[in-house]
Amino acid sequence: MKILITGGAGFIGSCVVRQALLDPNIQVVNVDKLTYAGNLASLPETDNNPNYHFSQIDICDAGALDDTFTTHEPDVVMHLAAESHVDRSIDGPEAFMQTNIMGTYQLLEASRRYLANQTLDRQASFRFHHISTDEVYGDLEGPEDLFREDTPYAPSSPYSASKASSDHLVRAWHRTYGLPVLVTNCSNNYGPYHFPEKLIPHMILNALAGRPLPVYGDGSQVRDWLYVEDHARALLRAATHGDVGETYNIGGHNERTNLQVVETICALLEELRPEKPEGINAYADLITFVTDRPGHDLRYAIDASKIERELGWRPAETFDSGIRKTVVWYLENPEWWQAILSGKYQMQRSGKGS
């Protein structure tokens, strides 16, 4: 099986690539523009791997996509390439509209052109798997409410609105053109190789440096946290065993407030890295409450019973086990995140793997 993965140098995409390559019967074509969030250093397992090919292209480039499809003839497309940081979408929404909406459109059309020249058997077995977010649903009101596959869309930020738009495009191409698609919507991911601007790595690295730990509002916003390796397993399961036209919600069953997440990180660092920067008595003393984000959703939580029931997937990690693994990874891999903080990683953008 040959899988074309867009955004395979990003946080979730690189984890999917790493897990897919554990199977010697899977070949991976990684398509990534290598924006600021793409990092080939997140793919050490791909060195000299004959089952891996990397193409540095923009998914908005129709010609480059056509060339890639013609050259590699994928059986499955897993579409993870996206602008994904909510704060960045508030400050500069245009890039989100371009990549998340127009990029998805170009990829759908490239898939359609590619399938038009394939045999009926290959057309029938092809899958376009669109990876999305639970943020398209907006937020939840009651403490017992959960996002389900039929929850109405109510996006709150430019980021979530652009992802909602891409979800609608994918389903429209299925209904109008018969493109064999499936969609997954996930909760907040965390784990190794997470770009330092995101909440969990940002807090870990700020604490290690003795800098403030900024928490929006009073930190009461609730998220369902999903360990990235659990998510990657779910995505590969959905891509290879999911039913055409279906949507599967993927969650970790791990609801925590943002403040609880930060306090957990501080407690783990007290245990694992007790030597603090000068002048710091306790990591928790660095917690600083800042003005809340505009339109900040209060609570996300996913009902993942459908993918558990129909595809046999369940998360292996609890939040406690996953967050410990994450903190340990950042403590043991400073060369990865130091290259990002210094900007050095942006100079290491060679065409790795072929």
Max CA distance (Å), the chain: 68
Tokens of 14: 């690189």
| CA 8/CA 130 separation, integer angstroms | 13
CA 194 and chain centroid, separation:
9
61 CB neighbour count, 10 Å cutoff: 15
Q: Which of 32, 58, 83, 135 is catalytic?
A: 135
Report CA dihedral (14, 20, 21, 22) to the nearest 10 degrees: 120
The CA-atom distances, in angstroms, between 258 and each of 70, 222, 223, 224, 269 are 45, 6, 7, 10, 17
Q: Which of 105, 137, 159, 248 is catalytic?
A: 159
| CA 310/CA 238 separation, integer angstroms | 10
134 in active site: yes
Q: Which of 32, 58, 83, 134 is catalytic?
A: 134
Tokens of 155: 């996006």
Residue 319: strand, helix, or coil: helix
| CA 270/CA 274 separation, integer angstroms | 5
345 in active site: no
| CA 299/CA 137 separation, integer angstroms | 11
135 in active site: yes
Q: Is 2 left (phi over 0), alpha (psi -120 to 50) or beta?
A: beta
Element (H, E) at 266: helix 258-272
Residue 159: strand, helix, or coil: helix
Residue in 60, 5, 23, 104 with CA at minimum distance from that of residue 353: 5
Task: Name the residues annotated as catalytic.
Answer: 134-135, 159
